[in-house]
Amino acid sequence: MLKINCFEFRANNSQPKTRNSLKLETLNLKLIKMADFHIEVDVQQLNRYGQVVCGDVFHSKQIRAEGRSILVLSDGIGHGVKANVLATLTASMALNYTSFHTKPEVAANIFMRALPKSVDGKESYATFTIIEIEEAGHVRIINYDNPRSVIFRKGQIFNPTEFQIPIRGEENAGKILRIREFVPILEDRIIFMTDGIVQAGLGSKRFPTGWGLDNIAQFAENQVAREFEISATKLARKILNQASMNDSFEIRDDATCGVVYFRQPREFMLITGPPFYKIKDNDFVKRIQEFPGKKIICGGTTAEIIAREMDLEIDIQHRFSEKTLPPAAKMEGFEIVTEGILTLGRVEEILEYYTTDMHLGDSPPEEVVKLLTQHDMIHIIVGTRINWAHQDPDQPVELEIRKFVVKRIVRLLETRFFKKVTVELV
């Protein structure tokens, strides 16, 4: 997703990676019209042992107006800063030209001509994999010199037809783009990677020629067989961990593994604030009762209204893991009940600085963040009734703060986590 993320995921992140440790980017892509699908993308990276900058670069972009999502993984030749510059340049151009519907063989020619030459006169280059996902249900994988992507369907390897296109330009004689296209179905997976994964273990007794694509595919197939609904996050992490183990935890090349997982979307509802008209309380609660997914309440007054209408008890949980906030409560049918504005403000702060390496505790805001990041389609109901007991009736600050905080949370969920969020004011 595409955590996807200390390495912090941001869409189109071109900042060099600055820690030689396992890093995870999470990108959760939602296609608007493909109602039965949620496309979960996770990318994990590990720097070459001893390097502080990763030579592999991952970029992504959603073009909502066209219903397209584009993923680009580039591997710069060598390692360190030089490799990162080459990969960043290639990934950026690949993303932009693909966005403009440029023919891949034309775009690749431009990449090659733009990349700098080495001192000995030989061309310095970067390999790349481009994955285009269209909301109409079409996937295109364009590959240049990166390891071949592995596709799973119903838990087994799926090999759609591959065709080859030569890169234009006399200077690119013999250079080939390999392209595969297919229509995805639920539970399909795409595993894409750089050479650091395939070559892991090179020279060892077990893998004298490296781990190899066949062994990687078999390893992934075994993981899917053990846990058919294994997440993109978990599968990518397992593959990268195994590659690191093959190199005795001193990986010899920058290694990146990404997984695209087409699955059923998970729905979630957050309710904060009571409805403006008291006579609408019953309709408000009925709407919440009919929602099929998980639900939480942020706001004591809101919880009291729902409890009254549904004839439920609110059970205060006397845990003070975060002393600056009131404790959470439990109510049948809801994952958690928390205080309102203060909790949402803290949720916003956590989401702003969230990375997939972050360990979340059990405080109310952290529990809310866990639920938000675990779901794909998020429905937020914002009640607009003012709590007169908390403020001057002439200064409806509480309502404006609530709306402002919710707006910022929505922005973070959509731009950083690629969630599909709907907000309804009642």
The residue ranges of every structural domain in the chain are 23-263, 267-425
Q: Give the DSSP per-residue string, 222-244.
A: HHHHH-TT--HHHHHHHHHHHHH
Sheet strands side by side (includes 377-382): 315-316, 329-331, 334-338, 294-298, 267-272, 377-382, 420-425
**C-alpha 247 chain-centroid distance:** 27
How many of the other CB atoms lie within 10 Å of CB of 108? 28
Using DSSP, state whether 166 is helix, strand or coil.
Answer: strand
Q: Which phi and psi (to 5°) does residue 42 adopt?
A: -125, 135
Tokens representing 34 are 């493909």
Q: Which residues of 373-387 are buried (b: 16+ CB within 10 A; e: fewer)?
A: bebbbbbbbbbebbb
Beta-bridged to residue 141, according to DSSP, are: 131, 180
Structure tokens at 121: 């006169």
Nearest Cα to Cα of residue 191 among 145, 239, 242, 227 = 239
Which letter does DSSP use for residue 37 in this model?
A: -
Q: Residue 364 and residue 115: Cα distance in Å, rounded?
A: 50
**Please, are residues 132 and 140 in contact by the beta-carbon 8 Å criterion?**
yes
Look up the CATH number of domain 23-263.
3.60.40.10
Q: Are 30 and 68 in contact (CB under 8 A)?
A: no
Report pLDDT for 354: 87
Give the residue carrying structure tokens 């369907």.
153
- pLDDT (tens place) for every residue of the chain, 426 residues total: 333 333 233 333 333 343 333 333 344 444 434 556 788 888 999 999 999 999 999 999 888 889 899 999 999 988 889 899 999 999 999 999 999 999 999 999 888 888 876 555 556 688 999 999 998 889 999 999 999 999 999 989 999 999 999 988 877 788 899 999 999 999 999 999 999 999 999 999 999 999 999 999 999 999 999 999 899 989 999 999 999 999 999 999 999 999 999 998 899 999 998 888 888 888 889 989 999 899 999 988 899 999 999 999 988 876 655 667 888 899 999 999 998 888 999 999 999 998 777 888 888 999 999 999 989 899 999 988 765 554 445 444 555 788 889 999 999 998 788 788 999 988
Torsion over CA: 228, 230, 232, 235 (sign): negative
- Helix or strand (DSSP H, E) at 154: none
* Residue 224: other Cβ atoms inside 10 A: 18
| Global confidence as pTM | 0.78
Yes or no: say if 206 and 246 are a contact pair by the CB < 8 Å rule.
yes
Question: What single letter denotes the amino acid at residue 320?
Answer: F
Strand-pair partners of 127: 75
**Strands (DSSP E) found in 195-293:** 255-263, 267-272
> In the prediction, which pLDDT does 398 show?
56
